[in-house]
Amino acid sequence: MSFRRTESGLTNLYRFFGVDAVVYLEGGNSLCREDLDRGSYTNSTPDIRYWQTLFSIYRPNKTYKFCSVGSKETVKSIAKDIMDGRVNNMIAAMDRDFDHINGKIITSNNVIYTFGYSWENDAWNKSSLREAFCTLSGACSTEIETETEVIDKYYKECASKLLGPIRIDAVLSQYDNSLFNRKSYMQYVNIQNNGMPIVNMEQIKSSLVATRNKVEGPIFRKENFILSFVVDCFGHLLAEYAYRILAYLLEKIRRNPKLPKDYAASMVVEKFGQLLANGSFPELKRHYDSEFSRIMPVAVGTPVTR
């Protein structure tokens, strides 16, 4: 007979770990709810690195156990239990995806979302990228005009080519479908002979044709929405584009050694946290101020805000 935690057992799990609360996240191996109830989770993922950074900013005097369970559906199942009052001392933190335009946001205390499509969208912005470049290259922050221009131009080019496909991706999400292949997203990135990354528009067009053939009937936008490249691009794909331009600047321009992606992501998250804490991202700060206002402990009768 296998061990499985009850709702009471999950509620008291924070005592076992000796923390104030247990935070469930995406990332790592994809686990179903039954796996989670049996005690399975991953304790080292990029998602943990990101959310741990935010909790250290907003709840510096509290301790948390971060558990990645891979599947968003599993995190959502925890979020629904939290909302319904079946479990306590638990927090669900997850990527927003296109939930905001599909009416799937779970509004509850101790349930929080990223501002952008995923944590990668929040972290891999131009400012974080520039700060990461300075640290990784050892360059003086007042002497990176060329690299700053390259980053700005690159993000503009990506936005001009990808905003249309991102809108299509959002519309398709309303039909439980997508434009981008989430499992093979690197196919949408081409690397030129000089090492410069570019958008693979031919592959995007191919994916569009393939997806259209799978969706029957007319496709139209069910809800009005305003999207942007950095905020709403599929997160793994945005991070790949951003990582590739960072690697290009370091390896091809500065002649630095090859940059491992996980190390680059760690540096970007660190810089993002510093910039968020010092007020460099007012829109993101407003979002996370609101999200963390719902994190326990919350006074009885405190209204849920979003």
pLDDT digits (tens, 9 = 90+) for 154-213: 999 999 999 999 999 999 999 999 999 999 999 999 999 999 999 999 999 999 999 988
The pLDDT assigned to 90 comes to: 96
In this structure, the answer to whether residues 53 and 150 fall within a common structural domain is no
In a domain, 291, yes or no: no
- Indicate the number of domains in the chain: 2
In this structure, the answer to whether residues 168 and 276 fall within a common structural domain is yes
pLDDT at 2 over 60: no
pLDDT digits (tens, 9 = 90+) for 122-162: 999 999 999 999 999 998 888 898 999 999 999 999 999 99
In this structure, the answer to whether residues 130 and 78 fall within a common structural domain is no
How large a percentage of the chain has pLDDT more than 90?
Answer: 79
In a domain, 155, yes or no: yes
The pLDDT assigned to 298 comes to: 43
pLDDT digits (tens, 9 = 90+) for 35-73: 888 888 999 999 999 999 999 999 999 999 999 999 999
In this structure, the answer to whether residues 186 and 248 fall within a common structural domain is yes
In a domain, 83, yes or no: yes
In this structure, the answer to whether residues 34 and 89 fall within a common structural domain is yes
In this structure, the answer to whether residues 249 and 140 fall within a common structural domain is yes
In a domain, 188, yes or no: yes
In a domain, 218, yes or no: yes
In this structure, the answer to whether residues 48 and 137 fall within a common structural domain is no
pTM of the shown model: 0.92
Range of the domain at 22: 7-94
In a domain, 274, yes or no: yes
3-class SS string, the chain? CCCCCCHHHHHCHHHHHCCCEEEEECECCCCCHHHHHCCCCECCCHHHHHHHHHHHHHCCCCCEEEEECECHHHHHHHHHHHHCCCCCCEEEEECCCCCCCCCCCCCCCCEEECCCCCHHHHHCCHHHHHHHHHHHHCCCCCCCHHHHHHHHHHHHHHHHHHHHHHHHHHHHHCCCCCCCCCCCHHHHEEECCCCCEEECHHHHHHHHHHHHHHCCCCCCCCCCCCCCHHHHCCHHHHHHHHHHHHHHHHHHHCCCCCCCHHHHHHHHHHHHHHHHHCCCCHHHHHHHHHHHCCCCCCCCCCCCCC
Average pLDDT over residues 70-97: 96
In a domain, 286, yes or no: no
Of the pLDDT bands very low, low, confident and very high (cuts 50, 70, 90), residue 301 is: very low
Tell me the C-alpha distance between 33 and 80, whole Å.
12
Of the pLDDT bands very low, low, confident and very high (cuts 50, 70, 90), residue 270 is: very high
The pLDDT assigned to 215 comes to: 86
In this structure, the answer to whether residues 87 and 127 fall within a common structural domain is no
In this structure, the answer to whether residues 51 and 139 fall within a common structural domain is no
In a domain, 128, yes or no: yes
